Amino acid sequence: MSQYAAQFKHLRFWQRLVRSFFAAVGLMSFTIGLVGLLYPDYFKTKWWVIAVVAAVALLWSVWAERPRLPEQKYSFNGTIRLVLGDLLEQNDANVLIGMSSTFDTNVPDGIISRDSIQGQFLDRMYAGSVQNLDRDLDAALSVSSHPVGTITKPGKQDVYPIGTVATLSATNGKKYFCVAYSDMDAHNVACGSIQGVLDSLNAVWDECDRRGNGAPICVPMIGQGLARIPELTAEISIRLIAFSFLLRSRRRRFSRELRIVLTKEGASQINMQEFQAFLASVTQL
């Protein structure tokens, strides 16, 4: 429940809590009033009834407005929802893996952080074998794209366009969409832009359409950490992901569910009530 505690600082939570409290008080007061009409002397001197009404109303409002993870169903027969958990353990869904435009993979030499999603992907899906991951990436890239230039730096030097997707397949048919959404400079410092994120998301949706078989697509909170997109806050990131998915799905349904997977730390940065309100506000698009 610790990830929910952060929601108590948001104004919308308290507004909804107060509304639910007074709605419950009003309903019980109406009921008591009807009883009072039939039995005028029943509530005389029973001041404890006020305390009971207040306590019940408070308990009801706290339960009714307890922080919940946002979820919204849409008319195109698709769903957008937030989940807390491990991106790489979403076994029933395909997964987006963010990479740089050089598709660097070297964790042992420090080019890629071991704690990043890409580093965890290498460790858990390829048992830490950079060679095996590079082999699969090269095979996927050879049929989907070509380098547009080179850069002199440690590690890989071929540069692919932002939005390039290398699709890797697991033995169970699950797809990993490795997409280039940031650039590396000569010192292997990654940087990106909101436009680059949008282009990358659109490219992944297209690849989902071609190869995803309608399965759910899991996306992490893009643009945080080492991607270095300062204007892309956690709140903006998840709204951007959701809105991009929604617009593409309105044109052509390609996945039955967008699952934005958050860590506990990531969830603490999100106003759940505000995001639920955002999802509900775009149902008519």
Homologous superfamily (CATH) of 71-281 is: Leucine Aminopeptidase, subunit E, domain 1 (3.40.220.10)
Reported pTM: 0.80
Q: Spell out where 185-243 has E strands.
A: 190-192, 217-219
Residue 4 confidence class, pLDDT cut points 50, 70, 90: low
For CATH 3.40.220.10, list the domain ranges present in the chain. 71-281
High-pLDDT (> 90) share of the chain, %: 56
Q: Give buried/exposed letters for 161-189 (b at 16+ CB in 10 A, else e).
A: ebbbbbbbeeeeebbbbbbbbbbbeeebe
d(CA 100, CA 72): 31
Each residue of 132-167: pLDDT tens digit? Answer: 999 999 999 998 889 999 999 999 999 999 999 999
Residue 42 confidence class, pLDDT cut points 50, 70, 90: low
